[in-house]
Every structure is written in structure tokens, then in C-alpha cells.
Amino acid sequence: MSLALHYFKVQKVRFGERTLLLDGELTINKDELKEILLEDPVIANLELEIVQPGESVRIIHVMDAIEPRIKVEGKGDIFPGFTGKLDAVGEGITNVLQGIAVLQTGQRQGIQEGIIDMSGPGAKLSSFSELCNIVLVPTLIENAGAVEFDQTMRMAGLKVADYLAKVTLNNQHDYEEVFNLSVTDDQSLEKLPRVVYVYHLQSQGLLRNTFVYGHEALNILPTFINPTEILDGAIVSSNYIIACQKNPTYLHVNNPVVLELARRHGKDLYFAGVIVTNENSTLADKSRSAIYVAKLAKIIEANGVIITQEGGGHSDTDLMMVCKECEKIGIKTVMIANEIAGPEGKLPSLVDTVPEAVAIVSTGNNDESIVLAAVKRVLGGNAIFGRTESASDAFKTTLGIMYCATNQLGMSKLTTQQF
Amino acid sequence: MNRKFVVVHYLNQFFGQIGGEDKAGIGPSVRNGGIGPGVLLQQLLGDEATVVGTVICGDSYMAEHQDLAVAEVVQLIEGFHPDLVIAGPAFNAGRYGPACGAVCKAVQEKLGIAAVTGMYPENPGVELYGPEINCIATGSSAAGMRTAMPSMVKMGLKLLRGEALGSPSEEGYIARGFKRNIFVKDNGAKRSVDMLLKRLNDEPYFTELPLPKFEKIPPAPPVTNLTQTTIALVTEGGIVPKGNPDRLESARASKFLRYSIEGVKALSGMDIQSVHGGYDNTFANQDPNRVIPLDTVRELIDEGKIGGIYPYYFTTTGNGTSLENSRKFGAAIAQELKEAGVGAVLLTST
């Protein structure tokens, strides 16, 4: 199974007459793009904005981020089951429009604040501050229910990504990366430790769903998926709740653990596969999933597993149960988690633990105080959730409000240190 | 700025060269310059700082009159107008350690200056003052002086210069039990793969998140006389009157609330809703009895199966709510219910 990613680097984005990519500059025909989105009867109005790194801009109410990709060779389309036709993806050639993200913004009860600052101290905290962002601010028709909100928002972001990715066609890519994870007869690979990635999705109902091939992951049995399928958009997020505890679609196709393991495959490890599993709501469902994950890992003869999480609270239990079940049958584990340890880091970081959880990578403490600078412009809404002051003001808050600052897929270089 | 930093050294009667156990009852006194371990201290401080004086106090005097003795010591230290206090090191000495800890804490609080001590990690002074002081981990006996003092000086100078301290393992100090976010070279994904390969290759590795320990809470024994028992309804499901008049948070709750259900047969979606941000509220809003089963409890009371119901329900949001707050809420709710003679609680979670 071989997938080549052709990267097209974008350094600058602006609106213009024609949508095209020229010498690293992406031009977008705003009217044409708006027209495509306004085909959805649920969208009453729509603002589209472009922001570049370093601008004095704060983006609030960030729900999801998407990277434009398009398949140019091989079966299926990006985001199969949504904007893409349903077929098994992960082979051939995929074009990647790199350096930009489509940001969906919006507000609904339950969705917590998620902020990206494009400059100032806040810009050091979110990886999305380094990208050129195309920001969607849709206004939905009155009385749009939660179901319409969920579907419309998800599809709007994916449609914009699909539309933009087309600029790579008939263009020359800047560089390529080939992932060849096929089983070979190469004897030397057999000596390498076999590593499996256990990929928890949080799919627990409306606004907190994640999809695999367009299928809601709610109550799925753990299942195998090829790493390259993930890079081709097989997993799409509709989990909009907590800024640092939701994994955006952008990071599913750029999953840092998948990329790290794939790049090291055949060098110091053997990347034996990915198991996707859901964080379920009941103890019985959690147990079943954990036992099933360990069983699958054993079938593919894993020596060790990396386990990632999405969400906090009772999803800590999913993480711990998988850890326990794997260690019980001799499969070593490392987990990635972020912490809710109080402002000074004195409180227990996770709500559940097992004695087998001896190797954990921390991606930072969400509760630590940060101070954001005043900005000139705010996109995505008028007020920061829970604050009456202007959203453009300087203010003190906690790290967990910064979009993906302590991302649970291990994207950032943050960790905690004991003092 | 060429002014040298001013340092005062605190010692017990033994290291202060007054005498052994027979002199342990002696009260605080002052010497100019450094003596005993203070000579090494001055050598290590070099040109950057001067040990202007030493304050000495007997271990027993300190242990027996602690508040008074600490106040006397702080007053003597203040007389030198120091920038930094170095106390000990106390190694594993059982009275000297707490004395050094108490002096460091008092100096920090009362004089607003930095203080550094050194102790063996099992010294009772670590347990008493560890989270509040800068304490280098030392060997158990004075044989460790030559390794302890350089670390203490290094830490002291960093504090004087206003430099950030490294981790406990880098600087050699005993962790104070709090954490800070820091940026490191590699992203979390790479660190996780590196850590796993170390585990698989039987190489040493360090977890970045040492395990928190939780107290085990045994389930309460079954209620034996339910027909005679008044029960209460408590939930973390974010159930509140419609419009959320008291502004219960949808996550990270800072409070719990109680609402009257006196004379109410069943909850209705017309005037009750959920504000919980951690689950899809559709079904709870349709019928809030799904989260607070008031309707069923009333039926069971009518059938004589349950003695009665407390006239208020308690609610909070259990969604990323801190352990500290959860404990506080639990204790306060339990207190009220106990005083009211409630015998059992239906705790519904979402």
C-alpha cells in the first residue's frame, strides 16, 4: 500500500478574480466560493475572511480546521463518505495544499470557546497561528436546529477545502513524500519492534462526533485502518466541544503519531498498523472496546502501542482500560494525554488511572494561566464566551481555551515540568 | 551594577561550632562572616556574593520554642539586610531539617527574599516544608557537604539573578509539587514514539506524567429499610430551571445549586433543561426525569416502597470539573442531607 503526498506550499492568500495558485500565492474568487456555500439552504449569510501569520487578529469560536487535499491517482476521493465518493482510499497520489487551513467558526450550546491569535503571546500557543487561515463565519437561517447546524457546518468546511484543493491540479508540486507501508519479505524488518497505534475517537452524539468513512464512530467495535487511509481523509471530525480536547480534521489527515511512525517505519520500528476505537459512554462499552483493542493488537503481533485520546473526563477511563488490557497481555504502552491539573499544576491531572500507566507523554496543563494581548480585529463572533468585555481586549485566561494548544495527538512541543 | 549580593547563613549549634547535643538548648546568636560550612559557601559564591554573617540556633531551642525562635532568627537575619539566606544543609538531622525549613519559609514570607536549604529527601523537614521552600536533595550525612553546597549555591545565585530554575532533576532540588508548562525540542508524537522504543529496548525512560493517586471510595452499604427512608436526588447532569437563572456552567463547574421540588409530581421539559456541555442534551431536555427521576420516585413513594423525598434536588455540571471543587460540592451536599435526616441519595451521572 503506497501513497505519495505531493505538497504545494502556500505562503500567501488573497482574494482575487480567479481561484488559482501561482508561485506560492493562493488567490481565491470570493464570490464563486460563497455561491457554492450558499447553495445550502440552511446558510442565510456567510462571511469569508483571510488572515496571515503576524496579523493583529483574534479568531474566536473555532470549531474545526481542515487542510485542502485532493486525490489525483488511486481509488476514491478525499473525505470519502462526505464530499468524496465512497471507496477505499490510501493509495496512489494525493495533492496537499500546505500552509493553509480552512477554519469553521460557530456557536451553539455546549461548544466551548476556542481561540487562535495570529500575533502576540497567544500566537506561540496554537500551531494554527503559523498558517494562512481562511475563516468561515456562517449565519444560519432562523430556527436551524442542532442537526442542521451540525451537518451544515461540517459540510461547509469540507466543501471549501475541496474547492481550494483543485488549484493544485495542473500545477507543479514543491516536494513529495512517499509512504510505503506494504508488507514485504525484507528479513531485516522482522527484527524491528512492531508498533501499533491505538487511535481513540470521541464520538458521543451531536456536535461531539467523529466519522470514519462517513460513518459515525459512536459504538463502533475497534477496527483496523491503514495509516495512509487516514492521510487521505478517512476520518472527519465533528467534535466541536473543547478547544484543546477535540482533534480537528486538519490533524486527522496530518496525525502527528501516524506521520512519526510512518516516517520511522523500516528504520527503528515496524509500523504494524492503526486501530481506531471510540470512547464510549458506558462502562460496559468501554470494557468491550478495551478488550477488543488489545485483542486486535495481539492479532497483528504488536510489541508496543501508542495510545492517543480525544476529550477528557471519562475518556481518561478509555485510555487507562486500553493501557491495562494491553499491558496484561505483554504489549507495552505509551499514552499521550493533556492535563487538567489546576492553575499551579497541583491537582491530579487525569480523573482515572491504573498502575500499568507508567509511560505517559504530557502535552501540557490546560489550566495554566496565560495573558493574551489586545488585537485590532476579531473574527468568528463578537464576544468571547463567558466575557462581557470586548473580544479584542487583552485578557487573562487559561491555556485550554487556545485552539489545539495542548493537542492530544501530540502536535505541539508543550509539556509540563514539575517544580 | 557591581554591588555584591549579601548572603546570610543559618546554622545549628553543631555546624556553628558552638558544641554538640549538650549545647542544643542554646538560643539564637550572630557571628560576622561565614564559619564552618560557611567557608565553603563563601568560596563557591566567589565574587558575586558575600556571606556577611551567620545566625546560629540550637536544635532543641528551635524545636521547643519554634514560633519565638523563628521570629528571633528572622530578626537577626534582617539586621544584615541580606538578599539571600542559605540554611544548612541539614542532611538527615531530624530537628535541624525542620529548623532550616521553618527559617527559609519565614524569611521568604517576612523579609520577601529568597532562601535555599538542603536536606536528605527523608528528612521530616521535607514533609513539613517541602512545597514551600527551595530545598536541594542531599546525602544523609555531612559527608555529602561537598556535593550539596555547590547545588545550593547554584540555585541561590539563579534566584538572586532572577533566572528561571530548571527541573528538579537538572538542578538537584526536591520537587515542590507544582508544575509549569514548558516548550521542549520535539513534539508530543515524537516523544511518545521515542519513549515506547526505549521501553521496548529495555532502556531507561521517564514518564512525563507520574501517576496521580486516588483515594478508593467504597460503595455505601445497601439501604435496608427503604420504606422508612427519605431519599434525595443529586445529579451532575446540569439540570436547571429553563433559562439557567443562576448561570450554572456547562463545563468546569464552580458551584452546585439546589432547586425546590416540593409538591412537584414530575419534572417537565417546559420549565427544566440541561446546560451540561458534555453530552447531547436533546433527550434530557425532552424529559428531564431521564436525568433526575422524580416521576418514578414519586410513584414509588405512592406505592409505599420509598419513605419520602427531600424537597430539593441538587445539581452541578460534571464536565471537566476539578477534583477540588467536586470534593467541596460533595461534602457540602452530604452535610446538608445528613443534617436533614436523609438516608440515601440517588446520584445520577451523565
Nearest to A309 by CA among A268, A350, A266: A350
Run of H or E including B336: helix B323-339
- Give the residue with greater pLDDT, B74 vs A188: B74
Residue A174 has pLDDT above 60, yes or no: yes
Contact A291, A325 (CB under 8 A): yes
Mutate to test the interface with B, among A209, A244, A361 (most CBs of B within 10 A): A361
- What is the identity of the amino acid at A401? I
Residue B252 has pLDDT above 80, yes or no: yes
Q: Whats the size of chain A, residue-wise?
A: 419
Please give the mean pLDDT across all residues of chain A: 95
Q: What is the 3-state secondary structure (H, E, C) of chain A?
A: CEEEEEEEECCEEEECCCCEEECCEEEECHHHHHHHHHCCCCEEEEEEEEECCCCCEEECCEEEEECCEEEEECCCCCCECCCECCCCCCCEEEEEEECEEEEEECCCCCCCCCEEECCCHHHHCCHHHHCEEEEEEEEECCCCCHHHHHHHHHHHHHHHHHHHHHHHCCCCCCEEEEEECCCCCCHHHHHCCEEEEEEEECCCCCCEEEEECCEECCCCCCEEECHHHHHCCCEEEEECCCCCCCCCHHHHHCCHHHHHHHHHECCCEEEEEEEEEECCCCHHHHHHHHHHHHHHHHHCCCCEEEEECCCCCCHHHHHHHHHHHHHHCCCEEEEEEEECCCCCCCCCCCCCCCCCCCCEEEEEECCCEEEECCCCEEECCCCCCCCCCCCCCCEEEEHHHECCCCCCCCCCCEEEEEC
Q: Provide, as residue numbers in chain B, all residues whose Cβ is less than 8 Å from the Cβ of A352.
A: 214
pLDDT of residue B279: 85
Residue A60 has pLDDT above 80, yes or no: yes
A to B CB pairs, distance under 8 Å: 197
Q: What is the pLDDT of residues B230-251, one digit of tens each?
A: 999 999 999 999 999 999 998 8
**Between A335, A413, A419, which is nearest B183 by CB?**
A413
ipTM of the complex: 0.97
pLDDT of residue B349: 87
Residue B1 has pLDDT above 70, yes or no: no
Interchain CB contact of B143 with A (< 8 Å): no
Q: What is the pLDDT of residues B277-291, one digit of tens each?
A: 888 888 999 999 999
Task: Tell me the β-bridge partners of B135.
Answer: B117
Rounded distance, CA A59 to CA A133, Å? Answer: 10
The percent of residues above 70 in pLDDT, for chain B, comes to: 99
Confidence of residue A346 (pLDDT cuts 50, 70, 90): confident
pLDDT of residue A183: 65
Confidence of residue B44 (pLDDT cuts 50, 70, 90): very high
Rounded distance, CA A173 to CA A168, Å? Answer: 8
Please name the residue of chain B whose CA is at the shortest distance from the CA of residue A256. Answer: B189
Nearest Cα of chain A lies from the Cα of B174 at a distance, in angstroms, of 8
Residue B14 has pLDDT above 90, yes or no: yes
pLDDT of residue B277: 85
Report, as an integer, the average pLDDT of A139-149.
94
Confidence of residue B213 (pLDDT cuts 50, 70, 90): low
Rounded distance, CA A298 to CA A9, Å? Answer: 40
Question: What pTM does this model have?
Answer: 0.82
Please name the residue of chain B whose CA is at the shortest distance from the CA of residue A203. Answer: B279
pLDDT of residue B278: 81
Residue A208 has pLDDT above 80, yes or no: yes
**Between B168, B187, B213, which is nearest A418 by CB?**
B168
Q: What is the pLDDT of residues B126-171, one digit of tens each?
A: 989 988 999 999 999 999 999 999 999 999 999 999 888 888 888 8
pLDDT of residue A185: 66
A window 283-342, beta carbon within 8 A of B:
303-306, 312-313, 332-337, 339-342
Q: What is the pLDDT of residues A75-129, one digit of tens each?
A: 999 999 999 889 999 999 999 999 999 999 999 988 999 999 999 999 999 999 9
Q: What is the pLDDT of residues B304-324, one digit of tens each?
A: 999 999 999 999 999 878 777
Please name the residue of chain B whose CA is at the shortest distance from the CA of residue A209. Answer: B280
Nearest to A275 by CA among A91, A126, A237, A261: A261
Residue A146 has pLDDT above 60, yes or no: yes
Please name the residue of chain B whose CA is at the shortest distance from the CA of residue A333. Answer: B196
Nearest to A66 by CA among A222, A250, A220, A238: A250
